[in-house]
Each structure stands twice: as structure tokens, then as C-alpha cells.
Chain A
Amino acid sequence: MSTMNFHLRLWKQKSATDKGEFIKIHATEIPSECSFLEMLDIVNNRLTREGKEPVSFASDCREGICGTCHMVINGVPQGPGRGAACQVYMRKFENGQTITVEPFRVGAFPIVKDLVVNRSAYDRIIRSGGFISEHTGGAPDASTSLIPKPVADAAMDAAACIGCGACAAACPNSSPMLFVGAKVTHLGLLPQGQAERKSRARNMVRTMQEEGFGNCSNYYACEAVCPANVPASVIAMLNREYIRGEVSEAVGAID
């Protein structure tokens, strides 16, 4: 197996209130087959052996589905290619290349430490409406609702969102509308989601604004970096649903 060398610029920041800085590390003899996060593991274990503090970064499943890992690699949230940062492999880089790694820069995601940010704002958006209110035990037989395959597939494509925050990190407005749109589209397409359709879009968008996120102005950067391939058309759906929700509230409609 061949090995590679890299010049790393890694962001170090003790806490949200401290000032951060890049540290430079010459990472040598990195196996070309290893993943980006495995490269960081190697670097961190070397730092530890030298008695230095490793660089904190979040990761868990390391197969692109849990959404835990989050970082900006050479200016791209979640790094080059499709998928999350854990799915980036070192063979995609040139030997000797300089690689800059920094945290997501989003006001609503305060920095915890080094490359780790706090994305709990996304949980609060879901809590304000990203669900179908139903209680366990009250469900009718699953075969009673027929959902045509194209509709089920479109709902699934939107539901594939991993909640990683890359959309907001890529957007010049720090807009999470790909994330919000994905949930509104997923549930809005299904018959089960109709009852709360208007209030869902209304409440989720309001929470999104309270959290300090911006709005979409059609840069499409979110779609370009989304690890789960969520299409930007979910934002169009979100806008339609949101307008419906606001208008129906303004005119005092029952739903």
C-alpha cells in the first residue's frame, strides 16, 4: 500500500468565546486507502503520543448516515464529492497537497471546540412541527392507505436528509431551508401528513427564523453539498406550503 504526505491547516478553538486559529501539521506516511477521518485519527494519535492535545472533531457511524460528522474541507462543507466528511477518502487528494479543515461557520451553530459545533437548533426546528401527531396504538392497518410508488419515492428522497447542517454551512445566508424543506416535503407528500400540513410549514419556518438562520435566495449551494442528495425542489415546496400556512392563518381559516 502506498502512503501520502499532506500539509494540514486545522482549526483549533478552545470554546465559543475564545479566539481560534489554524495550526499547521505536516502529516506524513498517511495510507492512501484511508478515509479522511482515519487520517485525522492518525494525526490525533501522533499528537497524543507527543503529549499534545488532539483536535476535536465529531464522528460516529463513519458510513455517511448518522450526520454526526461535520467540517469544512478546503472550503467545502462535508468535503469534496458526494457524502458526509466520513466518506471522503485520501486517494481523492494529491500527494503533498495543503488541506484546510475548519468548522461550519453558521451563527446559529455556535462552536463547541475546534471543529465541533452545536447544531441543536435543527432539533428545535423539528420539535416545532417536523412530525405527524399520532399516538402509539391508534394506527389503522398499514394497508388501508395506498401511496403510489412515485409519491412514496419522492417522500423517501426528501426523508433521506441526515440532519448534518451542511446546507446551512454552504449557504451565504446560512439558510437551513433544504433541511426544513426536506421534512415539510417528506410529510406533506404523504396522506398521513395532511392534517398538520399548514401549521407544520408555518411553525418550522418561524422557529428557523427565531434561531437566527437566513432565508433562501437561490444560490443552490446547499443542493451541491448535501450528502444525502436532497433536491433543491424541496425549498420550492416549502415556500408554497409556508405561504399557504401564513395566508390561512391571516384570513382565520380553521386549519
Chain B
Amino acid sequence: MILDAKIPEGPIEKKWTSFKNNAKLISPANKRKFKVIVVGTGLAGSSASATLAELGYQVETFCFHDSARRAHSIAAQGGINAAKNYQNDGDSVWRLFYDTIKGGDFRAREANVYRLAEVSGNIIDECVSQGVPFAREYGGELTNRSFGGAQVSRTFYAKGQTGQQLLLGAYSALSAQIGLGRVTMHESSEMLDLVLVDGHAKGIVTRDLITGEIKTHAADTVLLCTGGYSNVYYLSTNARGSNVTATWRAYKRGAAFANPCYTQIHPTCIPVAGDYQSKLTLMSESLRNDGRVWVPKQKGDARLPQDIPEEERDYYLERKYPSYGNLAPRDIASRSAKEVCDEGRGVGPGGLGVYLDFSASIDRLGEKTIRERYGNLFEMYHNITGESAYERPMRIYPAVHYTMGGLWVDYNLMSTIPGLHVLGEANFSDHGANRLGASALMQGLSDGYFVIPNTLGEYLSTQFGKKVSTDMPEFKKTETEARAHVEKLLAVKGNVPVDEFHRQLGLIIWDECGMARSEAGLKKAIADIRALRERFWKEVAIPGTGAELNQSLERAGRVADFLEFGELMCIDALTREESCGGHFRIEHQTPEGEALRHDDKFAEVYAWMFQGQNNDPELVREPLHYEAVHLATRSYK
């Protein structure tokens, strides 16, 4: 199989414009005839549903939450990037594009990233117009802050709740369309499988989480907007329900899964406290605008932070990366934290923590300003740890936060299955091997508001007269298979709770496919995952039936898929014999311990194709051609 990214011709600045000038259009009268299924109601799913409905398509939207507003985009704290240059500090579309490509360690597709930077400004306009209450100056202008990997202030924010406000903006646009009858909304509906007709994605199978009813739904095209797979690690900053099921099922139906080993470990999270823990809590990267990261110079220094004099502190990010300092990109900041903790200089229980210290900023700006900027984050920290960050430094440690890998898509956001489009975190396209802060919100909304409405016509214009219905045998067959999978889970009747398997899987992956990866470790992980998977199918306990709200059953289905997916992730990490961004193979590092890329061999997307349950997946490569930027060693010194 050859992966055709369908990148438009011409110089990078002209590609998107020339694409739009030549794109296939669907007339208003014909839009009404096409039905679009959207799975997921995060930023990508809500914005796509609302926008496509405004354009006149028939939209049916599904989410497993009890309300579309609860998707995990809501938890994003820090902000959204846009090349508006309102600060007059030298920002431009080119700079946002370049920062994102460089931040991704030169493993993202140029044309997609440029388009993202290009539409970034429109997103802000759109959101303001919906009533998103971005932070403002006294005179009424929009204000900005800085995020990692950038030397300009281009991040728009709404207190520490930017994701919430952007999602509620998209949710309100979606709600308006539902109210008008243009979107049919199905809450508490989990996608179990994808239905293919003649090799094209034409529908889905869902389970109603309240009644247990399993049903099929037909459409002309399917959009997966189902987020990332961070929860393969069990402990992550993702919500408990976030899962890989929709994209994994699509993979098993023929969609290539690209770069699954590219995961983001966020440097500033509240450290793990015990094995009862159900999730990790992020402390926004924006805190690094005013917080300084340090550890004691001495190993095992047990003094309280306030008792450690200035000259005995190691502000290691400022020391190692003087030009970006505390705002070094996430992968680098995380790895540095791991390094100092591995040296025995970590703080707090177990020595797995570093300080994030606000005292200098409180002295400089006053507590009131800090409270205004980060009040809710400090409150959250206090609530969880019982400590006040106004009085003593926060303790933080890296945690899994985002996944750059995802289903492979071309420039039109279509996967290797015709008719299956993938948006937002669920696809792989824009962040390469490391995502910069405040870029996830930008990508989700860019895909939903501005990209898919323009690219969908490329596929739909080939689908006139090809209506399908749920009466077709393809639908019946897939439904039967999905039903059998649920029954198989219920039939295990073991006595080990689902969470136990999930936690063990998480530990395997965190240890061997986390911040540092090695050949031996990854091979061991693959064997361990296979053994765990076998145990799962013998011992998992799922009380209750399939015909009711059954949370054990929901979780078991998701964990069963994670147990398969985790193996693919390790295979990808094993095959990519270089270090880049969040993927750090200990065999490949510079003498200073920085990631060492091998561009001659690995400037490629690795896309994996399913070959049957017991066979190795097939690797298909998409070479990355850099025409506008030249490959450079990433330096933030």
C-alpha cells in the first residue's frame, strides 16, 4: 500500500488557498442529501457537527458522555495559540508554523502544520463571536501569555479554564443546531465498531450505555473525533472515560495507525501519591511563565524548600536552556525532571518530584496578580495536596497528557479507509513527535471549524447515488460481531476487577514505553502485555448484565482494546530506532543526553496496518518532505 497524502502543489503559503480554490464543492441542494456521522463531542467533534449542520448537511452526532459538554477537551487549562500578533512582538503565521514543526522535532507534515497556523487567527475570531470570554486588558483588548517552545506571546486564554470555555462555545453552537433540528444528538452512546460497505466507511455500531441496546447507524461518511489514547498508561491527566476503542476498531477494519509511540509526557503534574490513585492532575504549563523549576544541588537534601539557600538550588532548566529557560518544550522539560530525580535530587515522597517555585514572581508582581492569573490552579493544588503554593513551592512531576500519534490521515483528513475522516487528537497529523503547549485546542478547532467543511466535498462528490441503509448485510454482520464481543466479555465470569488489569497494563507501559525506552525493555513489555491480555480474557470480573447501565462492562471493553493497542505502541517504539520529541530511545542520545534523531532513516511517518488478530501488523511509510524548512537539530539553549 502507498500512502498518498494528497498535498496540494505550489509553495507552502499558497497550498491551502489553492486547495480551496480548486476543491470539489457540494451545492446547498445536495448537502441536504448527505448524512454525516460524527463520533465524539470534544472540540473537534462539536465544532465539526455544528459547522457541517450550518452548511446544510444532515448530521448525527454520538458521544459516550451523558452530555456533549462533558468531553475531555473541557479540562484543558492553559490556552490556545494563534498567530494574531496583537502583541506586536514579531509573531507571524510563518513563526507559528516553524515553532510547531520544530517543537514536533521535525516529524510532522509541513503542509498540514502550515494550514493550522494559517487558520489559527480565524479560530479566535470565531470563538469571540460565540461569546468565549477570553482574558482582556483594562482597555478591552485581548491579552496573551507565553507557552513553551515559543519566544512570543501568542496564547489566548480564559483564566485556567480555556478548554472549558472553548468547548462550551462549540457546545453552544452544536446546541443551537440541535435545537433547530439540524443535528440529531445521541448521548450515552458508545461506538463499538465501524461498518464498511464495499470498503468505504458507511456507518457505525453503538451501544446505548443506559439500556445496553446495540444498534447500527448508516451515513455517507463517518468522522471520528474521539481523542487520544493516554489512558493506555492507566494513570494520565485524561478523564477516566477517555479511550482508544473507536480508533482501534477502525484500525482493525483497515485504517492505518500512525506513530502510536509518539506520546506526550507533560512536565507539570501533581506527583503520584499511592496505588489507590485513579488519575493524575495537570498543573497548566502556563504556570511556567511565572514559576521557576528547581531541585536541590545536593542529593537527598531533606530540608524544607524555604531552608535551602539560593546558591544550593539548581534551576536546571534555566541553567541548561538559557534562552527558553522554564519555558523549554514539554518533552525536554519532562526528561530533565526525570534526569534530576534519577540522580537522587528529586523532592517529596519517593523522590519523584521537582519544585515549581512562585516566590520570585510573588515578590515581583504581588500575590494578587498571581492569584488572578492562576488562582483556580493554586486552589486545585491545595485541595489535592493540602499545601499552599503561595507559601511554599509546588511539587510537580511529569505525567502522560496527550498522544501525538493517531489514525493516519491525508491532507483532507481522510484515513486509509475511504469515507472515514479523523479529526483532532484522534489523528496524527500536526504535532510530529512532540506537541507544543496550547496547540491541541488550536488543532481540534481548526479541523472542525475550518478544515473538514472545506475538504469533505472531495470525498462526498464521489458518492452521489451510493446511499446505504442499515438493512444491508454489512450492517447486520458488523452488529452481530459487536454483540458477540460484548457477550464474550460477559462470559468470562472471572473474579478480578477490570481496574486491576488496567493498572498493570499502565505500569508496564509507563516503565518501558514512557519517558525512556530501550530495545530490551520494549521487548519485555510486549511479552508482558501478551501475558496480561491472556489473563484478562480468563479472569476479568464483570458483574451484572449487558442490558443495563453496566460500568464494569464499559470499562472492560475499553481495557480489552488498550491491551491490544499497547502492544502496537511498543512495536512502533521498538521499530523507530532513533530518539525524537517525546520518543526517547536511550540507545540514541547525544553526549549531553538530548534526543538524537536519524533523519536519513526516520524522517518518515510510520503507519501500521492490521493483518489479522494473530499476525504482525504491516508497516507502511510516508516519507516526510521538508520543502519550506530545513531539518535542524532542535536547540533551545
Contacts and interface: CB of A to CB of B under 8 A. Distances in A.
Given A45-B497, A147-B136, A192-B129, A61 B239 contact: yes
Given A34-B276, A136-B450, A141-B125, A120 B66 contact: yes
Given A56-B551, A126-B172, A142-B125, A68 B159 contact: no
Contacts, number: 221
B593 interface: no
B172 A131 contact: yes
Contact of B133 (A131, A136, A159): A159
B500 interface: yes
Nearest to A57: B551
B217 interface: no
B131 A127 contact: no
Contacts of B185: 123
A162 B134 CA distance: 17
Given A34-B276, A62-B278, A156-B165, A119 B67 contact: yes
Given A49-B497, A136-B126, A142-B84, A152 B74 contact: no
Contacts of B74: 61, 65-66
Nearest to B449: A136
Contacts of B241: 60
Nearest to B140: A146
Contacts of B551: 54, 56
Contacts of B138: 148-149
A202 B136 CA distance: 30
Interface in B358-398: 379-380, 383-384, 386
A66 B70 contact: yes
A213 B341 CA distance: 54
Interface stretch (B173-181, B469-477, B483-491, B519-527): B173-181
Contact of A91 (B122, B131, B274, B386): B386
A13 B380 CA distance: 33
Contacts of A120: 66-67, 187
B616 interface: no
A153 B131 CA distance: 13
B131 A186 contact: yes
A146 B131 CA distance: 13
Contacts of A142: 84, 124-125, 127-129, 134, 142
Contacts of A192: 128-131
Given A146-B140, A156-B158, A34 B131 contact: no
Contact of B50 (A67, A136, A162): A136
A170 to B, nearest CB: 20
B284 to A, nearest CB: 11
Contacts of A217: none
B65 A62 contact: no
A155 B210 CA distance: 35
Nearest to B349: A1
Contacts of B66: 58, 68, 118-120
B330 interface: no
B133 A190 contact: yes
Bin chain A's interface residue count.
35 or more
A48 B164 contact: no
Contacts of A68: 65-66, 70, 239
Contact of B131 (A15, A62, A132, A135): A132
Contact of A48 (B168, B171, B176, B497): B497
Interface stretch (B29-37, B108-116, B504-512, B541-549): B541-549
A147 to B, nearest CB: 5
A139 B75 contact: no
Interface centre among A65, A130, A139 (most CB of B within 10 A): A65
A123 B68 contact: yes
B135 interface: yes
B129 A83 contact: no
A236 B72 CA distance: 32
A145 B274 CA distance: 49
Given A122-B67, A148-B138, A66 B380 contact: no
B549 A116 contact: yes
B239 A112 contact: no
Interface string B275-317: 0111101100000000000000000000000000000000000
A91 to B, nearest CB: 7
Nearest to A155: B133
A120 B138 CA distance: 38
Contacts of A123: 67-69, 175, 185, 187
A136 B453 contact: yes
B141 interface: yes
A218 interface: no
Contact of A63 (B68, B139, B179, B380): B380
B161 interface: yes
B72 A60 contact: yes
A63 B75 contact: yes
Contact of A60 (B70, B141, B176, B541): B70
Nearest to A83: B383
Contacts of B589: none
A65 to B, nearest CB: 5
B552 interface: yes
A65 B164 contact: yes
Contacts of A145: 128, 140
A87 B278 CA distance: 12
B126 A139 contact: yes
B86 interface: yes
Contacts of A98: none
B274 A34 contact: yes
Contact of A87 (B47, B65, B176, B383): B383
Contact of B129 (A1, A45, A134): A134
A59 interface: yes
Contacts of B72: 60-61, 66
Interface in B239-259: 239-241
A43 to B, nearest CB: 11
Interface string B35-79: 000000000000100110010000000000111111010110000
Given A135-B54, A146-B141, A192-B129, A60 B549 contact: no
Contacts of B130: 131-132, 134, 192
Nearest to A152: B136
Contacts of B499: 41, 45
A33 B165 contact: no
A120 to B, nearest CB: 7
Given A65-B74, A83-B383, A159-B168, A31 B67 contact: no
B227 to A, nearest CB: 12
B543 A131 contact: no
A146 B216 CA distance: 48
Nearest to B278: A38
Interface in B331-345: none
A250 B171 CA distance: 31
Given A60-B241, A132-B131, 19 more contacts: A38-B276, A48-B497, A56-B551, A59-B240, A62-B239, A65-B164, A66-B74, A68-B65, A122-B67, A130-B172, A131-B130, A132-B172, A134-B129, A147-B136, A147-B140, A155-B133, A156-B159, A160-B159, A186-B133
29 contacts: A14-B548, A45-B499, A47-B543, A48-B497, A48-B543, A48-B552, A49-B496, A54-B552, A60-B65, A60-B72, A61-B74, A61-B75, A62-B281, A63-B279, A65-B75, A66-B239, A89-B383, A128-B179, A131-B130, A131-B172, A132-B130, A136-B51, A136-B449, A137-B122, A142-B128, A155-B131, A163-B69, A186-B131, A192-B131
Interface of A: 1, 14-15, 31, 33-35, 37-38, 41-42, 44-45, 47-49, 51-54, 56, 58-68, 81-83, 87, 89, 91, 112-113, 116, 118-120, 122-123, 126-128, 130-143, 145-149, 152-153, 155-156, 159-160, 162-163, 186-187, 190, 192-193
